[in-house]
Structures are given as structure tokens and as C-alpha cells.
Amino acid sequence: MARNLDAKCRQCRREGEKLFLKGDKCFTDKCAIERRSYPPGQHGQKRNTRMSDYATQLREKQKLRRIYGLLEGQFRSYYQKADQGRGITGESLLQLLECRLDNVTYRMGFSASRSEARQTVRHNGVLVNGKRVNIPSYQVKPGDVIELTERAKPFLRVQAALSAAEQRGFPEWMDVNTQEKRGVFKAKPQRSELPPTINEHLIVELYSK
């Protein structure tokens, strides 16, 4: 399966903000954005020029795609599904991405990053309603119970990730039991509950052309 092998810190620097791709490192002063807040490459420090509307829309799409670790074809498929469904296209797109099993695993604190969560899912470390699911793109539904397998629960990286997530706090649309390493996906997140730094309207404008 194809993967994006670009250095994660370079991706954050290219978008000019933290995408939280490296787990706990993103919350420390070792974060690349804290040290070098300009784009990567030999021309990264040149004077910024005004971007066109298309460039602004493209950068927003690339940012969201990188946050969730998707390739272009995968991301476009999510957009088409959101566009064909009911409701506001941009909000539906974000909800589809948030309902991915690897993202839910990350949000519940069972992994330090979405890429690590994807690996945990692929290695049969996650149960959905008591059944093993090893498909990262699996769409979690409201009421589903997500938990780690008995084999995965003792891992030190899981313990560390869960402890850090508990300190930061869990999303309102999830109910997480840190002792049992189990959580309930209560509902799809509303737009007001998601980061305001994402401008999904620009992505809709880009794909509507």
C-alpha cells in the first residue's frame, strides 16, 4: 500500500503550523515549528509573497490531507462521498475523517499520533464492539465501543500516550476509560468542536472548480 514518506516535521513547516504528526514532540520546544517557522528548502527563508486564491485553497487541502495522513486519491474519495451526502459538504468531510478508526484510536489516547494509531490498527491491536478490525479507514459509528486488545494494553508506548492524552483532555464526543483502555464513540463531532484553524470552505471551493 502506498504511503507518504515525507519527513513529518517538514510537512508541518511547509504548512506553517503544527499538524501534530510526531506525538509528544509536538508539545515541546523541540518541535520544528518552534525552532524554524519557515518553509523547508533552500528558499524557505525568502520574503513571503502573496499567494493566489488557488494557492491558498491548495495549501488548505494539503494541510488537512497531511493531518489525517491520506494520499490524494483517498482524500478525494472522502470529498466525493461528503459532496454526495446530505448536509454541509465541508462539515461532512471533517466528520468522515474524524470517524476513521485510526483517528478515533488516536483521539482516545491509545496512540501518540495518527500514524502510530494506524500501525496499531493494522497489527490487530484494536477491537470494535469486541471484534478485531485491522482496517484504519473503517468508519466508526456512534455508540461503537473501541478498546485495545489484551496483548496491546501493556505496551509502554500505549501507557505513555494515554497518560499524555489524559492530561490534555479527551474530546467531548468520546467517553474514555483510561484504566480499562476502552472508549465509547458517543456521536459524530459538530463543527464547533473541531479545530478552528481548519478552513474546510477553501477545500470545497477548490474541488468545486
pLDDT digits (tens, 9 = 90+) for 105-147: 999 999 998 989 999 999 999 999 999 999 999 999 999 999 9
The rounded distance, in Å, linking the Cα atoms of 23 and 99 is 20
Does pLDDT of 57 surpass 60? yes
The rounded distance, in Å, linking the Cα atoms of 201 and 163 is 35
Instruction: Please report how the helices 53-67 and 72-84 are oriented relative to each other, as an axis angle in degrees rounded to 10.
Output: 100
Q: Are 136 and 121 in contact (CB under 8 A)?
A: yes
User: Using only C-alpha atoms, what is the Rg of the chain?
Assistant: 18
What pTM was computed for the model?
Answer: 0.81
Instruction: Please report how the helices 200-207 and 53-67 are oriented relative to each other, as an axis angle in degrees rounded to 10.
Output: 110
> At a CB cut-off of 8 Å and minimum separation 6, what does 109 contact?
161, 162, 164, 165, 166, 170, 176, 178
Short-list 131, 129, 138, 113, CA closest to 184: 129
Q: Which helix (H) or strand (E) holds 135?
A: none
Mean pLDDT, the chain, integer: 84
